[in-house]
Structure 1
């Protein structure tokens, strides 16, 4: 699964309460909001999160249930790798139907030309005040799909696939075209051990985006597990390499899928050598043919990752079976070199 990436620009809010007895609350709000903003902008997310919650609680005590600050808190917890706290906040937000859509009310002071933010009630009253003009409203975009996608990523990172699948199902009902949720669903199927749905999900994604090398590789990995679909796996790995020529892991899997269960074959050959030499010879010839087919993939693996001891050892073994003695010597020397460097 792709690494969770979070980030957003949090805009400081202005808190204004008309009543004189709200002065103390105003001061607390301004202090908590500034502390939260300063910590967030300094990337001190562990400090920012509880401060955003403090802002939310203070606003709620005055009758304003502004969940955007809980969203900021959940985001900060996620960025601070406080997974459990972030998951709880995001879950509460999703279940509450929070969308993040906010309407901003502004007016311009004629005397200074300054644009001020107002709450709706004050904005309506100020329309009668001739000292102000340019009364405007602006509505922010919904972040609901982001909530579902982020919560899903957090749950998958926490290895909570069943919970993630429940969120994904709910999210896809609202956002059926969300590529991120569809990708997360495929990952969740794999985490939960539902390989059939995982493969179906990969094929669905590849039908929409056939140029995704990683998904071709993942499909090949799953197909390689079943001898009946080994040839399909080889085709998938080849497609991954076609799209990403330096895809070392795809080359590696191509090598091993092409060769097959070599230990089993060697055991069968050894069991037949004495009593059925002709049958053993057929197996030997077939083995050599498979190694010959794997040779260009092994060479591609080595080219893509020349410092891989596994790639060098595999290539050496193939040269042994295909009887390329000079290349065997070359790979043996490379093995010694890499082994010494690893010490």
Structure 2
């Protein structure tokens, strides 16, 4: 499954408040420390500074949760998942959307556009030195909050908690592909394989070109004998979409061969008393290995340094009695084993 990837540019704020000088000084210092740490990728240090900014603002009448969002993001980037989950959960439950109104005006003398708080912006309208008064709303980040919190919970192996957030998010954003994907992952983590498979099929109906979903569907189908052929088709579709999909080739091989350990045990049990039946099993086994051969060769082609691919291909050549290829694969196997030491 996909790993959590977080990234957002945090823009430094210019604090202009009609408050005591020491408060402004604290805000400026905390803001600088937060931004310096964030830009230096010292996210663990940035997070508490963003919280400090939020607390200072709130103590002075401004509940600007954007700074808690920055803190949650920084905690996530610092792999401090518990703190990040708590902040994102609080933001989601509070209904925070991140939508802000910006107020700007142009200085006639310099032509520079300046950002203002609403009170100052209203006052400046009476000032003949300013013009072009504009307001603009920033886009909502509410969907991102749901997506990120879901990913954080899944990464923390908390699928049931993730499902609560995902389902709440899908009420607001029913067509959100990331939440749908997270929901499918949560079903798998929670052991609800039927819903996991249904989720995969639903996603593939909307996007049939997703090789990973075809592969995941094949993995689930391969677990049930009745859907083995469906699994083979799913793996082939994954390879069609992603020709270098080594894992799909690998699963094509294993699914085609089946439970070979059991087959070998059955053959050995029959050899003495029922040699004819044992021979039939041997022939059927050889036929399955022959069918798996092109998939194994494809696997080796896209993953020539995989010792699993080499060993599997060698064993197939043994069963299909291709001695020259057996020698070649033995040499390759020895080469890879030596390189791994």
Same fold (TM over 0.5): yes
Is 1:226 the counterpart of 2:230 in the alignment? no
Q: Secondary structure at the match of 2:41?
A: coil
How big is the shift at 1:49? 0.8
CA distance in 2, matches of 1:325, 1:12: 68
User: Which structure 2 segments of 5+ residues have no match?
Assistant: none
Deviations 1:301-336, CA, capped at 9 Å, x for gaps = 111111222111111111111111211222222222
Q: Paired residue for 1:43?
A: 41
1:89-238 matches, within 5 Å, as 89-238=87-236
**Offset of 1:291 from its aligned partner?**
0.8
Q: In the alignment, which residue of structure 2 is the partner of 1:5?
A: 5
Report how far residue 219 of structure 1 moved: 0.8
Query: Stretches of 4+ moved more than 3 A in 1?
Result: 111-114
Following superposition, the deviation at residue 274 of structure 1 comes to 1.9
Deviations 1:38-89 (A, max 9, x none): 2111211111111111111111111010000100111111111111111100
Matched residue, 1:262? 260
The residue number in structure 2 matching 1:313 is: 311
SS of the aligned residue for 2:221 comes to helix
TM-score w.r.t. the length of structure 2 is: 0.97
1:232-260 deviation per Cα after TM superposition (whole angstroms, max 9, x unaligned): 11111111111111111111111111011
Give a deviation string over 1:88-147, Cα, whole Å, max 9, x none.
000000000000000011222333333332221222122122232221111100000000
Aligned length, in residue pairs? 341
Q: Which moved more, 1:272-281 or 1:60-69?
A: 272-281
User: Which residue pairs with 2:22 in the alignment?
Assistant: 24
Rounded to whole Å, the distance in 1 between the matches of 2:105 and 2:314 is 76
1:272 matched to which residue of 2? Answer: 270
Query: Can you give the 5+ residue segments of structure 1 that lack an aligned partner in the other structure?
Result: none
Q: Find the counterpart in structure 1 of residue 297 from structure 2.
A: 299
Instruction: State the match for 2:282 in structure 1.
Output: 284
Normalising by structure 1, report the TM-score. Answer: 0.96
Q: Secondary structure at the match of 1:280?
A: helix
Deviates more, 1:320-329 or 1:89-98: 320-329
> Whole-Å Cα distance in 2 between the matches of residues 337 and 227 of structure 1?
37
